[in-house]
Structure 1
Amino acid sequence: MLTAGLPAAPTRALGLAAFAAVCIALALAWLARTGAIPEAPPVIDAARMERHLANLAAAPRPIATRANAAARDYILNQLRGMGLDPGVQRATVSKATIRFGGGTHYTMGVVHNVVVRLPGSALERARRPALLLATHYDSGKTTLGAARAALPVAALLESARALHAKRAHANDIVLLFADGEDVGALGAQGFAEHHPWARDVGLALRFDSMGSGGPLLLLDASNAGGAVLGALPAAAPQVEGSALLAGLYRLLPDTPRIGPLGRLGAPSLLIANTGKRFDGERVLDTIERLDPALPAQLGAAMLGMARHYGDADLERGGHGPRAWFTVPGLGPVQHSAILCWTLAALSALMLVHGYRQVLAQARDTVAPLVQGFFGVALVLLATRMWLWERRGELAALTRDTGIDAALTVVIVGVCLFTAALYLLRRFVGAAPVFLGTMAWLLAGLLLALALAPGAAYVLAWPLAAALGAWTALPRLRSIAAKLLLLAAALLTSVLLLVPALEETWRAMAPHGLYLPSLAIAVLLAAFTSLFLLLTVGRVVAAAMLLACAGCLMLPTPAARPAPVETPTLAPDRLVYFKDMNSWRAYWLLPPDPLDDWSKRLFPDLAKPSIHVDVFGWHSPRQWFAVAPREDAIAYPEGYLLRKPRPKPVGTSGRRQVEFTLRSKNRAPHIELWAGGTEPLASTVNGRAISSKETIWSMSLYGMEDTLLRYTFDIKADEVLAVVVEERMPGLPVHLLPPGAPGKMPGTGMTVSSDVLRFY
């Protein structure tokens, strides 16, 4: 009997198919169990970051103010909404700073850091060092702090959300939202000195900003070894920079620092963007000015570094300084600064060998070598004088937004420097000029190693390559081989010095600084002395003439100065000053032009002036008018407890005065300074503040209404005056005339002042 339809599959085929299906199912189950199938990586939610930015950057957030507390509450609520359990570390921190003009400034503040810990997935995570991700949420008094603080906080919040959702990191991750950064990194100091989690940190990653755009840079690396720096390109390919650029940025004012996090006993990295720099007070740091690509770039870099280092085997402890840079065509390179010392020693040996070799060939006469050494010194001195005479032109180049004019100056300068070396070669010979140039470069390398060993790579490698080529040159017979050797040595200089020249110009020129770029250009010109070793003078001369002619024939572009930016919402700089000594109040304003509304506050003044009776002879010029006195604003509450009379003039010894101070206004910021004499010693609440004679001043933050007891030791025959100013954001607006123009919220300042005198 026949069965209609398709023929049935063989029984053996069915068995094989079932067996294969079972094997596939088991394999998938095993892969899922072992995690071999990668899950989708966590991502940053850009829309939530924008909401964080809008909430945090709504007003300035100085330490100890209501806006600061509101920002802290916002961060806490966001973290709790993710299912995390954040805490607030309250710590009193103090520090001393030597002022540039003399004297010592003491700072004491109460900080409120937000800290939270994300547990790792490793079974032995309790024994593994933790990863620290740190930023700060406070801002200055006259800035909204969009990029400088709010953006890193927003990125850290969203990184916490992504990491907590996946929990794919082996190590514990500690998140630190520090307070008091703008007044001296007090929050980071409080965490490093007082928080128990600080002892668990195996790597600290700090995020900050120097501008509203630009690429992310590695601005500093403290105690970081090869394992940490070597993993950075894979963890965050967006992060660029070099040790040379990081060292130069440290010379600029208001540059972020690793600061107290470098004292954790673990490696620390500082990541920041530097494009679209702010003004001095960071008034331009607004959401509207923010580069649209920067939030996503920062979020991706932060999350990538958290995932990578969160799985790495971290180790506490410190490492010596390291060099990091990028070689075109090769990519990121990093090595210990000890290698630069090794290259310097090798270069010194090759230089001594070269001098001995030339001396032997010159029949024991040192005249050419001495002439070459000092001849190169004269060329360098002439270069310095030529650059000094054209400092006005160079300063004008820094105001040009393009790089064409600066590049033309570099090309012409290198050609002139090389021509001077060729002219010197006609009198003393090629070898003395080359060795003299290398000797001065070696001196520069030793200076760089002493001051900035991490940045010395920019000179160590080219110098070793040049002297290595000189040492190997006599062993080569063909001119082609010699040209190839010298070209390879010169290529080392070009690969390191040309990128360094470009990045230093782009980084420093906007600040009016051209000396670092000029120094690198002179180094690049000095390495052209390699051409002196071969009889290719005609070729070099022709190339220099063509380069100079090409620069001169190019059309001169019109100067493109950077546009002057004005803030969309300027801070209110008006001050309400209530003075205990005169029992009066005043309106104060910096010496800027008055608008129509401000003229109503200062109707009787034609120009700003110095008001000696209230502020003394050394006070600045300012607009000044008597204001109604607001009795709801209290004066500083100071009581003199010990006030021994001064002894006759010429009497030796010391006397101790004592007083208490309390702020009934609960002022977030109090300034004190001593006048009349320099205290020999001082204490606050029994704690020694100073122990030697110095110009004394102090800032207090977040003391609220705490009673402070001060003692000062002064010379027996001198008098002391302690000026106290309680500074509070905002103004008594009910005393102002109506129609005030719109200003940045939270700005304007109220000051309550008194002077405690000890006669």
Structure 2
Amino acid sequence: MKSFISKLLVLVTLGVLVWVSFYTLMPDAEEFSEENPLGFSIERANEHVKKISEKPHSIGTKAHSEVRNYIVQQLQQMGLQVQTQKGYTLNSEGVFTVPENIITKIPGSDPSVKNDLMVMTHYDSAVHSSFGASDAGSGVATILETIRVFLKEEIPHRNNIIICFTDAEEIGLNGANLFVEEHPWAQNIGLVLNFEARGSGGPSNTILETNAGNSKLIKAFSKANSEYPMATSLMYSVYKKLPNDTDATILREQKDIPSFFFAFIDDHYDYHTANDTFKNLDQNSLAHQASYLTALMPYFANANLTELKSENESVYFNFPGLGMLYYSYAFIIPLLVIAWLLFIAISIYAIRKKTFTAFSLVKNIVWFIVILFVAAIVVYFGYQFIYRQYPEYADNLNGFTSNGHYYILAFVAITLAIVFLFYRAIYSGKELERSVPAPLFVWLLINTVVAIAFKGAAYFIWPVFFGLFNYYLIIRKNRPNLWVLLFFSIPAVFLFAPLIQFFPVGLGLKMLVISSVFSVLLLGLLMPIFIHHKKIHWLGVLCLIIASVSLLMAHNDAEFSNENQKPNSLLYLLDVDQEEAWWLTYDEYLDEFTSEYFTDETEVAEDVIFHSKYNSAFTQQSKAEVKPIAEAVMLMEEDTTFQKNERDKFTLKIAPQRKINRMEIFADQQVNFFNFKVNGKTAPSAEKNVFYQNRKTEKLLTYYAIDRDTLRLDFELKKGEQFELKVYEASNDLLENKNFTIIPRTENMMPKPFVLNDAIITKQILTIKAD
């Protein structure tokens, strides 16, 4: 009985350690209440978030100007001199607009060249319906409140501190591009601290942006002593392979300025949606952002920022209670070699003790790999099966449903059940000890691959070292102390348990298979504890019960409700030239809002793909009544004085006759334009790769309109070119326009994010011929 209680307590403690591995990632919001020693008031920060997120405020809207005025007023009330920077920008993807940045400076006592600290976030919300509380109202509030405390406490600082609230981040980082290209302060920046969000909750990840090595940056970050650092070289390596850029990316690419950016990514189903509201913002996530800036701004405002660049790379990771740990890439191979030698030595010792034979060692390794693949296959196809049972999930473009955490728990539990039941079928009694080296061997193989191809994950070797200690104890003693085994398992739990949730949260539920793989690998390192439970299959049964309950909870939350709203879309397209009109939608499945306009048999003729995060295409189209919608006035001029024999030069002016939010221009992708300018602006180019040449699609230009400004295109064409230029104008006022009577959405619906929505679109075609 005593032995049973001890084993049970160890399992309970293991569960507590898993909980601690998540709980210690970010602070409690109460630590940043009005009375906290730092002076940062989360209550004051919340007032900013509430004000900023009263309405959707994407670029070009009235609310966007109101948010800008509010931020300017708050800075001026602190005694700062504020300037706004407005101008045309054309990015490398062919997105053109007129952003208006908000910029101020806190002068340092002894500023020097290339040593200004820049703190930034963006103040525009995602088009068209996001309230922008998290993305990035939380960043604006964090910066405003930190500045207030910084100035009130008169914290001494040598470096200038530039505060920049960029505009047009959501449509293509245009505000950051404007600042880098045209503002003189961009020439003297040594480091950027950038605050972002990709959801409405969860811990805030620290990511580095640098063209050089990271060693000095991460050393400085560690010295700044942020209380809740969440930073790993794994995330640094993953981020570099993903296409998700931030404003800081522009400063790195164009000015070689390194940066840290901080972003929380959980509750991803709120990202860019109408549910990105203050009510849904996790207060602990906001506090986590505050914990970074309140520690880093005073430190880097007094540091020599010109010394942060390095050719060397470091492996780094955070560990509860120890903070940031880091070491040079030069140690990766030596540590791996030592681990392999230890594994081989302990295995030889075990064979000599006749704990197992070389053949049984190989057999157990094969079995573990089989278990790994079986679990991964079951989870992959299991989620595909689940996904097909709920066709409404197809309209969730975020890739993470509101019941997604139940699916993570369910499929992790299924994975654990597979492992426990396989172990019970393969091994019995004393034979369980023979299973211990197999996961270690697989982990060493993984670390070998990591050391060659993905060095940022090289800190994976440390739980393996502690696993080797447990391996030795089991071989050395018949019954090693369970608490000692548990102690040596702590690094594996703290480093790997959060990763099991991170990948499907950050990359979508399609990545549940990675959670499954990490679960098997983690359980393999914990097997020295579980082999002492002879009836290990009962743990598998318990996991199946947990999985069943989780799937049931996910099912109960799958239906759309006021909290879990169905995203849908409706657009009206008027073909001016053909005098025809159409209803369009991006929805895979119709609902009460859209079914009045479409049937399941409707075919899509309009195959244009407007600018959107996921390049979404229309799914339904049906005839509509022609309405009196004002089309653009277009004027084409050919420069007859142009002297190049092989080309002709043109100027096209497009003047909107109504208030539009966006203009999209398309041309035959075989047509190459030369010296393409938009209102006098050219796009930054990487060597000869520019957006208007060698296009993979017909998309030429996206213009996010401001104040009905006329669009002027200057370009050259090869003689003999003839093609149709398609011009689409869109206004996000379908639900308010007096020409239409659209029944409002019910409370269990919301506008579909990431795509053009609730819009009135006009289509015009202009034939261009270069003689």
Do the aligned partners of residues 341 and 725 (structure 1) sit closer, same or farther apart at CA in structure 2, a change above 3 Å counting? Answer: farther
* Structure with larger RCO (C-alpha < 8 A, sep 6+): 2
> Are 1:211 and 1:277, in contact at CA under 8 Å, matched by a contact in 2?
yes
Residue 138 of structure 1 aligns with which residue?
A: 124
> Are 2:53 and 2:137, in contact at CA under 8 Å, matched by a contact in 1?
yes
1:176 aligns with 2:178: no
Residue 151 of structure 1 aligns with which residue?
A: 138
Residues in 2 aligned to 1:503 and 1:614: alpha-carbon distance in whole angstroms: 37
Residue 462 of structure 1 aligns with which residue?
A: 463
> Are 2:569 and 2:758, in contact at CA under 8 Å, matched by a contact in 1?
yes
Residues in 2 aligned to 1:279 and 1:376: alpha-carbon distance in whole angstroms: 43
> Are 2:637 and 2:652, in contact at CA under 8 Å, matched by a contact in 1?
yes
Structure 2 SS opposite 1:215:
strand
Which one of the candidate residues 664, 670, 677 is aligned to 1:671?
664
Residue 654 of structure 2 aligns with which residue?
A: 662
Which one of the candidate residues 721, 725, 731 is aligned to 1:722?
725
Which one of the candidate residues 710, 713, 716 is aligned to 1:711?
716
> Are 1:573 and 1:749, in contact at CA under 8 Å, matched by a contact in 2?
no
Structure 2 SS opposite 1:448:
helix
Residue 276 of structure 1 aligns with which residue?
A: 267
> Are 1:226 and 1:335, in contact at CA under 8 Å, matched by a contact in 2?
no
1:641 aligns with 2:641: no
Residue 628 of structure 1 aligns with which residue?
A: 627
Residues in 2 aligned to 1:572 and 1:407: alpha-carbon distance in whole angstroms: 31
Structure 2 SS opposite 1:708:
strand
Give the partner amino acid of 1:515: V
Structure 1 residue 519: Cα displacement: 1.9
Q: Deviations over 1:310-364 (max 9, x none)?
A: 3344345434554443435545434444443442344456678889x799999xx
1:72 aligns with 2:72: no
User: Where do 1:86-165 residues align within 5 Å?
Assistant: 86-96=82-92, 105-120=93-108, 122=109, 124-127=110-113, 129-140=115-126, 141-165=128-152
Which one of the candidate residues 270, 295, 305 is aligned to 1:314?
305
> Are 1:236 and 1:305, in contact at CA under 8 Å, matched by a contact in 2?
yes
Stretch moving more, 374-383 or 264-273: 374-383
Residue 750 of structure 1 aligns with which residue?
A: 760
User: Where do 1:244-393 residues align within 5 Å?
Assistant: 244=234, 258-263=248-253, 264-279=255-270, 281-291=272-282, 295=286, 298-299=289-290, 301-319=292-310, 320-328=312-320, 330-347=322-339, 376-377=365-366, 379-381=368-370, 383-389=372-378, 391-393=380-382
> Are 1:215 and 1:273, in contact at CA under 8 Å, matched by a contact in 2?
yes
Residues in 2 aligned to 1:553 and 1:673: alpha-carbon distance in whole angstroms: 55
> Are 2:53 and 2:132, in contact at CA under 8 Å, matched by a contact in 1?
yes
Residues in 2 aligned to 1:498 and 1:461: alpha-carbon distance in whole angstroms: 11
> Are 2:412 and 2:516, in contact at CA under 8 Å, matched by a contact in 1?
no
> Are 2:268 and 2:506, in contact at CA under 8 Å, matched by a contact in 1?
no
Do the aligned partners of residues 111 and 205 (structure 1) sit closer, same or farther apart at CA in structure 2, a change above 3 Å counting? Answer: same
> Identity over the aligned pairs, expressed in percent?
20
Q: Deviations over 1:42-101 (max 9, x none)?
A: 6345565444334422332223444433332332233223221122233544444xxxxx
Residues in 1 aligned to 2:697 and 2:504: alpha-carbon distance in whole angstroms: 39
> Are 1:42 and 1:163, in contact at CA under 8 Å, matched by a contact in 2?
no
Report how many aligned residue pairs link the two structures. 673
> Are 1:226 and 1:334, in contact at CA under 8 Å, matched by a contact in 2?
no
User: Where do 1:501-540 residues align within 5 Å?
Assistant: 501-504=499-502, 507=505, 511-527=509-525, 540=532
Residues in 2 aligned to 1:166 and 1:294: alpha-carbon distance in whole angstroms: 25
Q: Deviations over 1:10-65 (max 9, x none)?
A: xxxxxxxxxxxxxxxxxxxxxxxxxxxxxx97634556544433442233222344
Structure 1 SS opposite 2:196:
strand
Give the partner amino acid of 1:286: T
Q: Deviations over 1:433-484 (max 9, x none)?
A: 9887655433322433455422331x222345556888x89xx996489989
Stretch moving more, 505-514 or 168-177: 505-514
Residues in 2 aligned to 1:188 and 1:435: alpha-carbon distance in whole angstroms: 52
Q: Deviations over 1:529-570 (max 9, x none)?
A: 889xxxxx9x64727356447657989646222465547999
Do the aligned partners of residues 529 and 422 (structure 1) sit closer, same or farther apart at CA in structure 2, a change above 3 Å counting? Answer: farther
Do the aligned partners of residues 405 and 199 (structure 1) sit closer, same or farther apart at CA in structure 2, a change above 3 Å counting? Answer: same
Residue 100 of structure 1 aligns with which residue?
A: none
> Are 2:265 and 2:506, in contact at CA under 8 Å, matched by a contact in 1?
no
Residues in 2 aligned to 1:682 and 1:328: alpha-carbon distance in whole angstroms: 56
Residues in 2 aligned to 1:59 and 1:245: alpha-carbon distance in whole angstroms: 33
Residues in 2 aligned to 1:594 and 1:436: alpha-carbon distance in whole angstroms: 52
Structure 1 residue 625: Cα displacement: 1.3
Do the aligned partners of residues 291 and 481 (structure 1) sit closer, same or farther apart at CA in structure 2, a change above 3 Å counting? Answer: closer
Give the partner amino acid of 1:754: Q
Structure 1 residue 725: Cα displacement: 1.4
Structure 1 SS opposite 2:280:
coil
Give the partner amino acid of 2:536: M
Q: Deviations over 1:104-160 (max 9, x none)?
A: x5333433221111112x3x2235722221100111212111211223213322323
Do the aligned partners of residues 448 and 192 (structure 1) sit closer, same or farther apart at CA in structure 2, a change above 3 Å counting? Answer: farther
Which one of the candidate residues 716, 735, 739 is aligned to 2:738?
735
Do the aligned partners of residues 307 and 448 (structure 1) sit closer, same or farther apart at CA in structure 2, a change above 3 Å counting? Answer: same
Residues in 1 aligned to 2:190 and 2:470: alpha-carbon distance in whole angstroms: 43
Structure 2 SS opposite 1:211:
coil
> Are 2:130 and 2:273, in contact at CA under 8 Å, matched by a contact in 1?
yes
> Are 1:224 and 1:268, in contact at CA under 8 Å, matched by a contact in 2?
no
Residues in 2 aligned to 1:281 and 1:611: alpha-carbon distance in whole angstroms: 26
Structure 1 SS opposite 2:373:
helix
> Are 1:587 and 1:626, in contact at CA under 8 Å, matched by a contact in 2?
no
Residues in 2 aligned to 1:614 and 1:505: alpha-carbon distance in whole angstroms: 33
Structure 2 SS opposite 1:441:
helix
Do the aligned partners of residues 658 and 288 (structure 1) sit closer, same or farther apart at CA in structure 2, a change above 3 Å counting? Answer: same
Segments of 5+ residues of structure 2 without an aligned counterpart are: 1-35, 388-402, 610-616, 684-689
Do the aligned partners of residues 198 and 382 (structure 1) sit closer, same or farther apart at CA in structure 2, a change above 3 Å counting? Answer: same
User: Where do 1:464-479 residues align within 5 Å?
Assistant: 464=465, 479=477
Structure 1 SS opposite 2:294:
helix
> Are 2:205 and 2:231, in contact at CA under 8 Å, matched by a contact in 1?
yes
1:445 aligns with 2:431: no
> Are 1:62 and 1:68, in contact at CA under 8 Å, matched by a contact in 2?
yes
Which one of the candidate residues 585, 605, 610 is aligned to 2:603?
610
Residues in 2 aligned to 1:68 and 1:324: alpha-carbon distance in whole angstroms: 40
Structure 2 SS opposite 1:217:
strand
Structure 1 residue 376: Cα displacement: 2.9
Residue 18 of structure 1 aligns with which residue?
A: none
RMSD: 5.1
Residues in 2 aligned to 1:505 and 1:347: alpha-carbon distance in whole angstroms: 27
Segments of 5+ residues of structure 1 without an aligned counterpart are: 1-39, 97-104, 363-367, 532-536, 644-652
